[in-house]
Structure 1
């Protein structure tokens, strides 16, 4: 009889290491055996535990989406817990050790997830899904997993260009999968009260309602932002009466006049409209870069306003802070806490910002993070080092990992304690709107998102090297339900394009696939490529509805020549990858672009040529 070989030292160590997750499990107690997800697995909750039932229902959907089959929800007395079951429990008495978002997970013959709150139990199920990404068998063990920071976020500026709701939905799912819980979203909601502000890049209220509902389901709080009183040009470019006017009589389209009652009324009316569709208990007003490229000396009436309201020692900065504080009070009356960026806090004011205002620190200015903390303001780390700019600066995740970066490391200062720091976020900015496509941005943010999830929930460096952490993140993959937006739904080749009214697109088109998963359309007769380039440029992007799609010299680097083909009933929708406007054809054969809510997108039938 041959004796069984003894396990190697490496195998023994591996058996005692925590299974792979992002964020990593900081404390894992291994036990003998394993849990096996099987054909008879159920998700078991107590009768009457509506919070656990919601978590269980979402887990069941996600198990199916991940290819793990159907696991029915069994309630209370339906049957005793049995082998292969997943038990979800919300136990408020566990608040002391689990807090608001922590959970306990135990794997053995059954799998048990316990949270003191619905959010905690939900995050435990995200760990379950990640463990199952490696296979149906989970090593037996136990963990109590509690986040280090309350706010673990991503900021997205969809404020000048339109980002597809499909892309944002993918982001929400991936955030939740990695236990990120705040999406700070600067965008334009199409206004009923102010139709003069509805230049393209907006979202309809129904689109936002669907996104907010998805966020609520996945415990991602979506906080809206309308940046003010600077960066208001998307809203007031057609309202010179609200624009700050300099001493030469020249209005500034990006600056709201903080001294004008009409300007405050206009801004707060936008808060009212956003409150119809956003349910978050926070309001982000930005308040950054108000005097970017200028100074208050060119606007003497601002100082006059400050003197009249706060006395002869007041500064122009006090007029700015006064506007911030009035917005604070207005938002508070609607049950919302105010958030602002830090660079408006120059220290030149005599009037303080209202207590309770969260400050998001991104820029190294005179007033340091330690001073903001000492003054008692909640502080979020939104460092420039955590930025991803389209066609510009990208967060160097490898460098941050090797530096052991954590949310105490602000621009210009590292503070000693995490007390008062709410967390951290990465920020996506469209400074060059055509610099990268959405698919390119999604690829470039994979590791930054996962690293911020790691360092806000747990320890900054769970692995000895950045490469090992990258491998960890790759193994976990994307969230269940994540849509592959890089899939080209037709074979490459030459096609005739005809809409459902029988109108032909000019020429036959060779459809090719780009490296980032879009299509190029090359005229078979001219060798030129379809492109949209006409009209007023915003962030280097043509965003005027009704402008033509023309044939131009082909360039692999020109993102305006990339097109999204989406399969719909009866054919395909054709949308520009950058402008996010759909292509239409006129009776005389001209191709034009329009937003979907202005003209229903044409449905194209493609016939191989």
Structure 2
């Protein structure tokens, strides 16, 4: 299989798992061996003597009317398991892996649970295609070592229905390959929800189409990948706060204080056209993403300020709802109107919790809105109060945050303290209400230039596995965090996780020649020009996180992206001229990835900035090197080494 995993991982897991019998496990089952080493840990396991061995002759026998199960089975047998195992609908024989779908089991297994039976054949049974899929994720781990699995049976049903990851691609652009790797890894851990705050390139409002966006085709591509891995994708456009990517060119919609000073991030909800503008963006984005749920954020509307600074909000609240109304009532009404709008399209709404202070005494917030509780304190309503009102509540606690250049969740502390979704920032629930939906980790780009995508991916590895374990709800897989991490890293990534060669050329000096005998060369004022016939050469040095620095052999300076408009520290202006500056090991904007040219670029390589995700291109007017959407192909076939 993918890698051997004897020794330390097995020893660490045995210490923890042999300490006690699982619920429903007999002494004779324990004598047959400990539960298998999988993540998240199986909720229940009954071991028997002997082993199942996957051979080259094994087939994937499908017993399901759902074509989705058969599609998953083809990928499972063709690219995920070692070797190629054909799919058959014929009668299973000894040595086969059997995937069965039995809708009558939904009352017992729900929409995501499954059974595994390991004997002469290995059988996964579930009520739905998703349950079968999750069973195959466990099978991949069972057979990860050498194609052998201990005989026995398991019934595995998640404790929480929402097991999520959130990625704020707000302002910045997070690459599609990064998202695809994330979703493959999520699926391997049975995580089922991905929230993306990302901007779709708008035809409704072309003024918002500056870089950071996803085209509608890219949004559909991400949605298709999510569906492929049984992940629900939930998009967001934040409102009425944090709207500067949309309101930057709409001063007429920006909230202005009592002195007339506009606040670019805030939508003026006292204006009727504010709702019309926001819902027009929602309708366009929802169609592109194909989502069944919509997240509107609704957080930090008054961060750094207060309602009295904006008297028009109080005036409009009084006009609409009477003398007892407050701006909080106007805020709640705006959310309710968005809720009504998305429900009309057959969707449900989600918001963050921090705008809920209980001061909306005239206009109650619709109770079908899911509240994601991330922070507490002060007058903010506690999770128990929201749950008591019958609202769906998700634990999105700040302790589960990973911030570029800032706070990163302490996974070891959470694991050692036996954290569960019952533990919020300011309250730990004593019981588990049915309307507590689950939990998610959240990735934020507050200092976007502080870490590259590859660095974020690396530091997300253990949080993903911890969150999966905590929300699936099985027994603790190791007594210590060290044992848990050893097991997680031994099991590794999903089997088809694209750990591609991110440094395709050896360290050395290269002439970056473009078609037409042009090459990069530093120009006056530390600019970088594309110079015809230049002999400029660049020394490529791989970085530890899978990129390159490019140092000019002429000037000794490194290629950088420091000019143009920045958001959260990321240089995101298309057409901004590149620069060359003093080489710095810590400057992430000096890190570049080399990609094979294609998709109309010609042959050679495209050089893409690790932070902006924009490529090195040529400005038409003067040939200067700039940040570009499409990029310039360098080299007729590959980078040419300087002899």
Normalising by structure 2, report the TM-score: 0.90
Residues 354, 373 of structure 2: 8 Å contact kept:
yes
Between the aligned partners of 1:119 and 1:483, the Cα distance in structure 2 is 23
Between the aligned partners of 2:45 and 2:65, the Cα distance in structure 1 is 31
Residues 370, 391 of structure 2: 8 Å contact kept:
yes
Between the aligned partners of 2:266 and 2:196, the Cα distance in structure 1 is 20
Residue number in structure 2 paired with 1:364: 376
Q: 1:254 to 1:14 in 2, by over 3 A?
A: farther
- Out of 515, 520, 542, the position equivalent to 1:513 is 542
Q: How does 1:194-593 map to 2 (within 5 A)?
A: 194-350=205-361, 351-365=363-377, 366=379, 367-419=381-433, 420-459=435-474, 461-484=476-499, 487-506=502-521, 507-569=536-598, 570-586=603-619, 590-593=624-627
Between the aligned partners of 1:60 and 1:234, the Cα distance in structure 2 is 44
* 1:416-473 Cα shifts (integer Å, max 9, x gaps): 1221210000000000010100111011110001000000002473311011110111
Residue number in structure 1 paired with 2:48: 31
**Secondary structure class of the residue paired with 1:19:** coil
Residues 439, 485 of structure 1: 8 Å contact kept:
no
* 1:522-579 Cα shifts (integer Å, max 9, x gaps): 0112111000000122111221111111110000000000001112352111100001
Between the aligned partners of 1:107 and 1:601, the Cα distance in structure 2 is 54
Residue 54 (str. 1) matches residue 71 (str. 2): yes
Q: How does 1:42-121 map to 2 (within 5 A)?
A: 42-46=59-63, 48-63=65-80, 68-75=82-89, 78=90, 80-121=91-132
Indicate the larger mover: 40-49 or 398-407: 40-49
Residues 161, 437 of structure 2: 8 Å contact kept:
yes
Residues 562, 576 of structure 1: 8 Å contact kept:
yes
Residue number in structure 1 paired with 2:8: none
* 1:565-609 Cα shifts (integer Å, max 9, x gaps): 11235211110000100001357553111123xxx5534441100
Residue number in structure 1 paired with 2:633: 602
Residue 159 (str. 1) matches residue 170 (str. 2): yes
Residue number in structure 1 paired with 2:21: none
Residues 400, 441 of structure 2: 8 Å contact kept:
yes
Residues 94, 116 of structure 1: 8 Å contact kept:
yes
Between the aligned partners of 2:406 and 2:396, the Cα distance in structure 1 is 17
Between the aligned partners of 2:570 and 2:63, the Cα distance in structure 1 is 54
Residues 615, 627 of structure 2: 8 Å contact kept:
yes
Residues 503, 586 of structure 1: 8 Å contact kept:
no
* 1:233-263 Cα shifts (integer Å, max 9, x gaps): 0111110111111111111110011121211
Residues 328, 359 of structure 2: 8 Å contact kept:
yes
Between the aligned partners of 2:554 and 2:634, the Cα distance in structure 1 is 23
Residue number in structure 1 paired with 2:25: none
**Secondary structure class of the residue paired with 2:180:** helix
Residues 617, 626 of structure 2: 8 Å contact kept:
yes
Between the aligned partners of 1:567 and 1:524, the Cα distance in structure 2 is 24
How many residues end up aligned between the 2 structures? 593
Indicate the larger mover: 497-506 or 241-250: 497-506
Between the aligned partners of 1:248 and 1:486, the Cα distance in structure 2 is 56
Which blocks of at least 5 consecutive residues in structure 2 are unaligned?
Answer: 1-10, 19-28, 522-535
Normalising by structure 1, report the TM-score: 0.95
Q: 1:47 to 1:324 in 2, by over 3 A?
A: closer
Residues 503, 585 of structure 1: 8 Å contact kept:
no
Cα distance, 1:60 vs. partner? 2.4
* 1:67-99 Cα shifts (integer Å, max 9, x gaps): x11111101xx3x21122111111011112211
Cα distance, 1:30 vs. partner? 0.9
Between the aligned partners of 2:255 and 2:500, the Cα distance in structure 1 is 42
Cα distance, 1:480 vs. partner? 2.4
Residues 512, 634 of structure 2: 8 Å contact kept:
no
Q: 1:363 to 1:49 in 2, by over 3 A?
A: closer
Between the aligned partners of 1:142 and 1:460, the Cα distance in structure 2 is 16
Q: 1:238 to 1:293 in 2, by over 3 A?
A: same
Cα distance, 1:288 vs. partner? 0.2
Residues 371, 394 of structure 2: 8 Å contact kept:
yes
Residues 234, 293 of structure 2: 8 Å contact kept:
yes
Residues 533, 542 of structure 1: 8 Å contact kept:
yes
* 1:99-158 Cα shifts (integer Å, max 9, x gaps): 111000111111100111111111001111122222211111110000000000000000
**Secondary structure class of the residue paired with 1:180:** coil
Between the aligned partners of 2:447 and 2:632, the Cα distance in structure 1 is 26
